[in-house]
Amino acid sequence: MKTESGSGTAGGQLIAVVGAGVMGVGIATLALVRGLPVVLVDVDGTRLDDARTRVAAELRMAQLVGRFPDDDAAGAPLTTTAIADVASATVVIEATTEDLAVKSKVFAELSAVVAPGTPLVSNTSSIPIDELAGFALRPQDVVGTHFMNPPYLIRTVEVIRGVRTGAHTMVALENALAALGQEPVVVRDNPGFVTSRVLHPMINGAARIVEQGTATADDVDTLMENCLGHRTGPLRTADLIGIDNLVDSLQVLYDRTGDEGCLPCDLLLEKVRLGHHGRKSGRGFYEYTN
């Protein structure tokens, strides 16, 4: 299925985003806020319909917080279930679930469709970029980013250069991020890179404290916010990330590092089992009105 939006490429960029989950919607919204055309791809047509509604809601929020003027009209993403529709993109950002089997299939398909030299960017939170590059026809085109949620508010983005990432890919990605208004910090490739390798075990530890009855979720977050300067607290952050995504990322980290601090605690696993995934489901460590 396909829904047309405006044509043309602002600033020479056409952004394709593969995966219409929380981060895919957030990255698509960021591009639209910056006046860039977007192709949003997902295998699930129903999810794409929902994504268009969520993008519109995110654009309204972006206006409310002053990310672009009220009298500016942002377009809508072009949505499609066909990978072939990203062929003309200048950069492709993969934002699918944190599952190597899913991502490997996406990278194999993307590299067969886009022109050589087009950056194939994974927004993975934990899987090493060089692992993903091994599934692409041209490993030198593969690079990593880790946008924070919501991307239109958090301008710093972690960029992961794999051992096979080409210089041309880094330049093209730098140009795309400049068009998106993002400030890159480039790090080396390792499981979890910097942000997830530090943050996700910390969230896991905070959840264990709640699990053990030492403190409530609100008490943990209040202490971390007011005593240690964590902007939202680790457990509110977990709800924003998505507890299901967090558990997947922790499992990737544990499998690749053996760090016991990355083994998802029982409380997180129980919340996933119950469908309490955080903001997107209306309930996680806190309850939300979606």
Residues classed as catalytic: 146
Q: Is the peptide bond before 264 cis (omega within 30 degrees of 0)?
A: no
Residue 186's SS3 state is: strand
Amino acid (one-letter) located at 179:
A
Token pair for residue 190? Answer: 């390792």
Strand partners, 142: 120
Distance CA 222, CA 229 (A): 10
Residue 92's SS3 state is: strand
Q: Strands 156-161 and 38-41: what pairing?
A: unpaired
Closest by CA to 285, choosing from 177, 207, 222, 228, is 207
E-only strand ranges, 74-164: 78-80, 91-94, 120-122, 142-146, 156-161
Distance CA 47, CA 20 (A): 7
Distance CA 208, CA 264 (A): 9
How many helices and strands, by DSSP H and E, does the chain display? 10, 9
Number of other residues whose CB lies within 10 A of the CB of residue 156? 12
